Structures are given as structure tokens and as C-alpha cells.
Amino acid sequence: MNILIVEDEEQLAGEMAGYLHKENFLCEIASTGNEASEKIAVNRYDFILLDLGLPDYEGLDLLKEALHSDYQPGIIIITARGALEDKIKGLDLGADDYLAKPFSLAELLSRIFAVARRKFNTHSDAINAGEFLVNIQSRKILHKTKEVELTRKEFDLLTYLLLNKNKTLTRIQLYEHIWGNMLDDQYDSNFIDVHMKNLRRKLSVHASADWIKTIRGVGYQAVL
């Protein structure tokens, strides 16, 4: 998943990004509200971790901007311990969860997965896909009792399709989710097609993967 960390405390932002990167998330950092506002306006994020106590920007205004974007990121607000009013206002506006400083990085990860389950309307980390069982948190896919070996990008591609099952995802949406925010001159839709071909090939060794559909001229869809 692609995450924007909005945090002006450089050390904390770096610790969050480093920890989440090890857990296979893509992370960008915005250290000011203005920088975050610009990123939110032009990029798509699966999650935004938003510190409300920004020196140059009203955190709740930034939250409103994120909520009114043309996509629906999961939003966890980060507040100073005891800032009850900010927590309530943030949740009332539409934030998904909050964390009070100081917090453990393990708890942050747990909150992200919990919000993801609610956002994608799944009640566990395990998703049935045809004859396969995919566990998002442990990053394992099983056919019966045998583990299927996928690359990191192939697994991310598969889980994003499954979390958005029965929805058509464009190649650009998939590209941004897997490779992060892109520049126009870097985009190559063939990246997605090659990875999808490899993913289907590896799954088909074990069982049919015909539930992954190509939507001609648009992108892909997991029909389950």
C-alpha cells in the first residue's frame, strides 16, 4: 500500500517510514502542511497518517482536503496525548482512527490493518480467491497446504485486486499502488501487463486463475 506520512518531527517520520517500509509499504513523507496539501492534490494514497499539530497549516483543514479528494484514502490522525478535542473533531470529520503520541510502531501497523479491513469490507486478513487462500498480513498465498511463491510486486498486485474485488482497476491505479506515485515520463503500462502475465502463470501451475479478468483498454478485475 502507498502511504503518505504527514509529520513535522523528522525523527518520528523517519522511524515510521523505515518500519512500514520493512513491512512492504511504500511511504512518502511530508514535513509541512503545505507540502502535504500539494501531494494530496496530485497523488493517490491508500493511507494518510496525519499529524494534526503542524506548525504551518491547520491539521483539520488538511484532513478535509484529503477527505474531499477524488479517491478515498484510509486516514489515521496523530495527536498529542490528551488532545481530546482534536481527536473528536478529526473522527467527526471522517478520519478512520487516531493514535496519541507517543505510540508503538507495532500498534500503528495493527491500526493500519484494522482500518484496511473496514475500508475493504473484509473481516479477516485471509481472503479466499478461487482455490487459493491469501493472507495479507503474513504475505502468504496457499493452494491447499502448499505455499505459492510470488515476488513482492506480484503479491502486492494480487492483494490489491482482491481487496477491490469485482471492481475494475485501471493500469494507472495499479501502477501507483505498486510502484508509488509516478511521473508521466516514467509511466509504462507494460509493467503491469508483464507482472500480471507472470502472476497468472504462477497461479495456474496450481489451479485456475480465470477469476482475474482483463478489461480491454482499461485494466484488470478480480471477479469473485
Residue 214, strand partner residues: 220
Of residues 97, 44, 81, 86, the one with CA closest to residue 61: 86
Percent of the chain clearing pLDDT 70 (strictly above)? 95
Torsion sign across C-alpha atoms 193, 220, 164, 170: positive
Higher pLDDT, 185 or 148: 148
Distance CA 60, CA 126 (A): 34
pTM: 0.79
Lowest mean per-residue pLDDT among 45-59, 113-127, 135-149: 113-127
Within the chain, all domains assigned CATH 3.40.50.2300 are found at 2-119
The residues, any chain, with a CB within 8 Å of residue 76's CB and separated by 6 or more, are 47, 48, 49, 50, 95, 96, 97, 98, 99, 108, 111, 112, 115
Strand partners, 50: 6, 77
Q: Is 103 helix (H, G, I), strand (E, B) or coil?
A: coil
What class does CATH assign to 126-222? mainly alpha
Cβ neighbours, 10 Å, residue 221: 18
Query: In the structure grid, which three cell numbers stand for residue 139, read together?
Result: 504475505
User: Over the chain, what is the mean pLDDT?
Assistant: 89
For domain 2-119, the CATH superfamily is Response regulator (3.40.50.2300)
pLDDT at 105 over 80: yes
Tens digit of each residue's pLDDT (9 = 90 or more) over 38-82 = 999 888 898 999 998 898 999 899 999 999 877 789 999 998 766
- Inform me whether the pLDDT recorded for 212 exceeds 80: yes
pLDDT tens digits for range 181-203: 655 445 566 888 999 999 999 99
What is the C-alpha to C-alpha distance for residues 173 and 210, in angstroms, rounded to an integer? 21
pLDDT at 15: 97
Q: Phi, psi (5° rounding) for residue 205?
A: -60, -30
Q: Outline which parts of the chain fall under CATH 1.10.10.10.
A: 126-222
